[in-house]
Amino acid sequence: MIQNADYEAMVRESFARQKFMATLGAQLVHVAPGEVDIALEHRDDLTQQHGFVHAGVLGSILDSACGYAAYTLMPADGDVLSIEYKLNLLAPARGTRFVARGRVIRAGRTVTTCRAEAFADDGTAPIAILLASMMTLHDRSGIRG
């Protein structure tokens, strides 16, 4: 299923270049074929008006988790771009630590569909769910097709 034996190194290197992930304190905690998890600690400077982590923070790590899950299955000369995502917010982001679990549903030549779920602490019920379309750029010559 993987087309690039170095997928993990490529994901880690690209993630390290996403400075916004460092700004959020987000960390890559799981990388496997079609699967990427990103974790984050609660911080006051990430909150919305009620003191919970902002939906946009969850959206950011869920989008990155999906994009990198798709990237694990791409060819070595490919690059990944988010076409779109949809985020449903299920419960307030209460808790001290959050994990976004991105999984590939179907990998196509051009479009890869992924879902991701966010969990708080050791919760078993997701607090947010995302459904996304990712595009493979085959020659890395541009960043938008």
What does the binding site for a second copy look like in residue numbers (CB under 8 A)? 14-15, 17-20, 22-23, 44-50, 52-57, 59-61, 63-64, 81-92, 105-106, 108-111, 113, 115, 125-126, 129, 131, 133, 135, 143-145
Looking at the Cβ atoms of 32 and 92, the one nearer to a second copy is: 92
Looking at the Cβ atoms of 2 and 83, the one nearer to a second copy is: 83
Burial class of residue 61, CB neighbours in 10 A (0-12, 13-18, 19+): buried
Beta strand extents in the chain (DSSP E only): 27-32, 35-41, 79-89, 97-107, 111-120, 128-137
**What radius of gyration, in Å, describes the C-alpha atoms of the chain?**
15
Looking at the Cβ atoms of 29 and 131, the one nearer to a second copy is: 131
Q: How far is the CB of 53 from a second copy (least distance, A)?
A: 8
Looking at the Cβ atoms of 9 and 22, the one nearer to a second copy is: 22
Q: How far is the CB of 5 from a second copy (least distance, A)?
A: 21
Q: How far is the CB of 31 from a second copy (least distance, A)?
A: 15
Q: How far is the CB of 137 from a second copy (least distance, A)?
A: 9
Looking up tokens 């009620």 gives 50
Burial class of residue 4, CB neighbours in 10 A (0-12, 13-18, 19+): middle
Of the candidates 46, 113, 36, 99, which has an alpha carbon nearest to the alpha carbon of residue 69? 36
